[in-house]
Amino acid sequence: MLIAYCDCFSGVSGDMFLGALIDVGVERRELVDMVQSVLPGDEFKLRVRREKRGALCGSRVMVESFSERRRNYKDIREAINRAELPDWVKSKAARVFLKLAEAEAKIHGIPVEDVHFHELGAVDTIVDVIGAVAGLYLLGVKRLYASLLPMGRGFIECEHGVIPNPSPATLEILRGIPVEGRDTNAELVTPTGAALIATLCSSYGSLPSMAVNRVGYGVGAREEHHPPNLFRLIVGEALRESAVEEDLLLVETTVDDMTPQIFSHLFDDLLSQGALDLWVSPVVMKKNRPGWVISILVQPGLRDVVMGLLFSETTTSGVRYYNVKRVSLPRSHSTVKTSWGEIRIKRFCLPDGSTKVYPEYEDCLKAARENEVPFEKVYRSVLAILENEP
What's the pLDDT band for 108 if we cut at 50, 70, 90? confident
- C-alpha torsion sign, points 133, 136, 137, 142: negative
What's the pLDDT band for 89 if we cut at 50, 70, 90? very high
Omega cis (within 30) before 227:
yes
Contact in structure between 103 and 175 (CB atoms under 8 Å): no
What's the pLDDT band for 144 if we cut at 50, 70, 90? very high
Residue 70's identity, in one-letter code, is R
State which of 11-15, 247-251, 259-263 shows the largest mean pLDDT. 11-15
Model confidence over 175-192: pLDDT tens digits? 878 899 999 999 999 999
Residue 223's identity, in one-letter code, is E
Query: What residue spans of the chain are helical by DSSP H?
Result: 14-24, 28-36, 73-82, 87-108, 123-139, 168-173, 191-200, 261-272, 303-313, 361-371, 375-387
Using the 8-state DSSP alphabet, how is residue 44 labeled? E
Nearest Cα neighbor of 357 from 325, 333, 321 is: 333
Q: Are β-strands 143-146 and 201-204 bridged in parallel, bridged antiparallel, or unpaired?
A: parallel
| Portion of the chain with pLDDT greater than 70, in percent | 95
Rounded Cα–Cα distance for residues 252 and 268 (Å): 17
Rounded Cα–Cα distance for residues 315 and 126 (Å): 37
Using the 8-state DSSP alphabet, how is residue 242 labeled? P
What's the pLDDT band for 9 if we cut at 50, 70, 90? very high
* Helix, strand and coil in the chain, % to nearest 5: 40, 35, 30
How much is the mean pLDDT over the chain? 89
For the cut 70, the answer to whether the pLDDT of residue 390 exceeds it is no
Q: What's the confidence (pLDDT) of residue 212?
A: 96
For the cut 60, the answer to whether the pLDDT of residue 118 exceeds it is no
Report phi then psi at 359, rounded to 5: -70, 150
CA atoms within 13 A on the CB side of 158: 18
Rounded Cα–Cα distance for residues 39 and 131 (Å): 11
Q: What's the confidence (pLDDT) of residue 70?
A: 77
**Neighbouring residues of 325: CB distance < 8 A, sequence distance ≥ 6:** 245, 246, 247, 248
Q: What's the confidence (pLDDT) of residue 16?
A: 97
Residue ranges per domain, the chain? 2-238, 244-310, 331-387
Q: Rounded mean pLDDT of 74-80?
A: 90
Omega cis (within 30) before 166:
yes
Nearest Cα neighbor of 249 from 282, 273, 275 is: 275
Contacts of 326-331 with C-beta under 8 Å, sequence gap 24+, read 326/245, 326/246, 326/248, 326/276, 326/297, 327/243, 327/244, 327/245, 327/246, 328/243, 328/244, 328/246, 329/243, 329/244, 330/1, 330/238, 330/240, 330/242, 330/243, 330/244, 331/1, 331/142
User: 3-state class of 314 per DSSP?
Assistant: coil
Q: What's the confidence (pLDDT) of residue 215?
A: 98
* pTM for this model (two decimals): 0.68
b/e 40-72 (16+ beta carbons within 10 angstroms → b): eeebbebeeeebebeeeebbbbebeeeeeeebb
Q: What's the confidence (pLDDT) of residue 373?
A: 93
| DSSP string over 152-166 | --SEEEETTEEEESS
State which of 93-97, 222-226, 235-239, 353-357 shows the largest mean pLDDT. 93-97
**Neighbouring residues of 8: CB distance < 8 A, sequence distance ≥ 6:** 146, 147, 148, 149, 150, 188, 189, 197, 231
Rounded Cα–Cα distance for residues 210 and 55 (Å): 26
Assigned superfamily of 244-310: Transcriptional regulatory protein pf0864 domain like (3.30.70.1380)
Q: 280: exposed, middle or buried (C-beta count within 10 Å: 0-12, 13-18, 19+)?
A: middle
**Neighbouring residues of 327: CB distance < 8 A, sequence distance ≥ 6:** 243, 244, 245, 246
